[in-house]
Amino acid sequence: METAMGEAAAVAAVGEFKPRVEVEGGPFGIKGMAWAIFEGARNPYYNLIVIYIFAPYFASVLAGGGAEALSLSGMTITIAGIITALTAPFLGVIADKAGRRKPPLAFFIGLMACCSFLLWWARPEGPLTMWPTMAVLAIAYCCYGYSEVLHNAMLPSAGRPSALPYISGLGLSTGNLLSVGILIFFLFGLLLPGSGFPFAADHQLIELDRATHAPQRFAGPFIAVWMLLLVIPFFLFMPDGLPGGLSWKRATSDVLFGEEVEGALRHTLRERAEVFIRYLKGLFKDHPQTMRFLIARTIYADAMSALLTLGAVFASTFLGWTGEEILFYGITGVLFGAVGGFVGGFLDRLLGPKMALVWEVSALVILLLAQLSITPDALLFGLIPGGTPVWESPFFATLSDITYFLFVIPVAIAVVASISSSRYMLVHIAPRERIGEFFGLYAIAGTVTVWMGPGIVSLLTWATGNQRIGMGGIGFMFLIGLIVLWKVQAPRHADVNR
């Protein structure tokens, strides 16, 4: 984390600069594969529990559905996100000073697996009722964030420097592909059998009572076992990096209270904060356009995160979708999202990254507005009736359901395209000699503010009692990010000589 931010930021964080360790190995070497498989072990938790399977069950069954359920779902993510944002940076600094990251990483993965396993007992009649379930979800969400910090910090040890981008991409691909495979397993192996749906089996692969929502609750223990098994290669073959020379207890004390040198404390928490603030002020003075873009990206990226994490909950609580319909929706979104990378690259070359982002974020605003115009009974804010079944199907039977489902295709494409264009935009305008430093800030900003979008949705839904107004807060964030982005001064095409 600190090396990406530059020496000044490192002084603010740990009081010393540590150069990147030169290591050998390509993306398909044993260390690169071990690092990447960790993403495949951990990332399915987010897709199954936070987005597509357990979260809609929590909102519609445990929280009772409706506006309050959407508000409570957003509040859970917001509280956990704020805790993570306030503590994760210190965890990264302490890890750098202690050096050994595997022990705390094993602790957080183990705790997340325990929390996930407990979700099997999350039922309205107990023993894990709504509020205890929210606490378990918040703890697991924090552990997910902490594990991301520690795992990302170990990337430099996963291979030679030239291979690190490919190893990072391999990790993302592994996590996404395995997540899709698990979602398909739950859909065709547990939820669809016996429904009469084409290609559906007659019996479940594992007999689970759908009347008590056992398949949705089973996602918890399934992911717990999945994580514990798939992290084994990581802990066996991934090196832990250079030791920092301190115990975790001593490193924690030094970071929080200052390092004792010749009887005096230096680099206290307050001093580091002051140095870091001066460092940020210098960046705004020397590179105002790049910093303005980072602010814009933080805002619209938080909006995208809220749209992804709460979109399935909204479909469940407002449109009344079943678990099967939510999974069809999620799988379709993930698959078509792959197209977004090519769309983003095409628009970058055609329009330049700034205008590509303007079009992509604008598209998300329009698509969100169109989605929120849909109710169970009508389209376009009541102008077109949509509640009458249009075909004989157990899923997506009405025009409203079909229309909302089809919107996932352009939304997924626009989201992934904007992610691709955002990365290229930073490369486009950041000073080449400090590109790693700015990508460090890029990653940190996207982590510490991820709670804002769900927080706004939760607050607006709670204040108005209207789920569509709550989700409309996401569109407001998109617009603010778009306004800031528009003010960024960037050439249409990159200067190859800069």
Percent of the chain with pLDDT over 90: 16
In whole angstroms, give the CA distance from residue 85 to residue 106. Answer: 20
Residue 436, C-beta contacts closer than 8 angstroms, at least 6 positions apart: 3, 4
Provide φ and ψ at 65, rounded to 5°.
75, 175
In whole angstroms, give the CA distance from residue 155 to residue 101. Answer: 12
Pair 103, 94: CB distance under 8 Å: no
Pair 1, 92: CB distance under 8 Å: yes
What pLDDT score was predicted for residue 362? 93
In whole angstroms, give the CA distance from residue 195 to residue 237. Answer: 44
H/E stretch holding 266: strand 264-266
Percent of the chain with pLDDT over 70: 79
Half-sphere exposure of 211 (CA within 13 A, CB side): 0
Is residue 249 pLDDT above 80, yes or no?
Answer: no
Question: What digits encode the pLDDT tens for the residues 166-192?
Answer: 776 677 678 778 888 898 899 888 888
Is residue 8 pLDDT above 50, yes or no?
Answer: no
- Average pLDDT over the chain, rounded to whole? 79
In whole angstroms, give the CA distance from residue 412 to residue 85. Answer: 26
In whole angstroms, give the CA distance from residue 103 to residue 116. Answer: 20
Number of Cβ within 10 Å of residue 297's Cβ equals 25
438 in helix, strand or coil?
Answer: helix
In whole angstroms, give the CA distance from residue 281 to residue 267. Answer: 19
pTM for this predicted structure: 0.74
One DSSP character per residue, 279-291 reads: HHHHHHHH-HHHH
Q: Would you list the domain boundaries of the chain?
A: 20-246, 278-498
Residue identified by tokens 């109710």 is 375
In whole angstroms, give the CA distance from residue 314 to residue 490. Answer: 37
Pair 418, 304: CB distance under 8 Å: yes
What pLDDT score was predicted for residue 86? 75
Domain 20-246 classification at class level: mainly alpha
Signed CA dihedral, 386, 390, 396, 402: sign only: negative
Burial of 260 (0-12, 13-18, 19+ CB in 10 A): exposed
Tokens describing residue 161: 């420097």
Is residue 422 pLDDT above 90, yes or no?
Answer: no
In whole angstroms, give the CA distance from residue 481 to residue 479. Answer: 5
421 in helix, strand or coil?
Answer: helix
DSSP 8-class letter at 20 = P
Residue 84, C-beta contacts closer than 8 angstroms, at least 6 positions apart: 141, 142, 145, 146, 447, 448, 451
Signed CA dihedral, 414, 417, 421, 423: sign only: positive
Q: Which of 17-31, 160-174, 209-223 has the highest mean pLDDT?
A: 209-223
Segment among 87-101, 288-302, 365-379, 466-480 with least mean pLDDT: 87-101
Compute the average pLDDT of residues 468-476.
Answer: 88
What pLDDT score was predicted for residue 22? 40
CA neighbor of 353 nearest in space, from 417, 296, 410: 417
Pair 137, 58: CB distance under 8 Å: yes
278-498: CATH topology is Growth Hormone; Chain: A; (1.20.1250)
In whole angstroms, give the CA distance from residue 428 to residue 498. Answer: 10
389 in helix, strand or coil?
Answer: strand
In whole angstroms, give the CA distance from residue 421 to residue 291. Answer: 16
In whole angstroms, give the CA distance from residue 394 to residue 400. Answer: 14
Tokens describing residue 98: 């202690």
Overall residue count recorded for the chain in this entry: 498
The domains spanning 20-246 and 278-498 adopt the same CATH topology: yes
Is residue 411 pLDDT above 80, yes or no?
Answer: yes
Compute the average pLDDT of residues 201-228.
Answer: 90
Name the band, by pLDDT with cuts 50, 70 and 90, for residue 14: very low
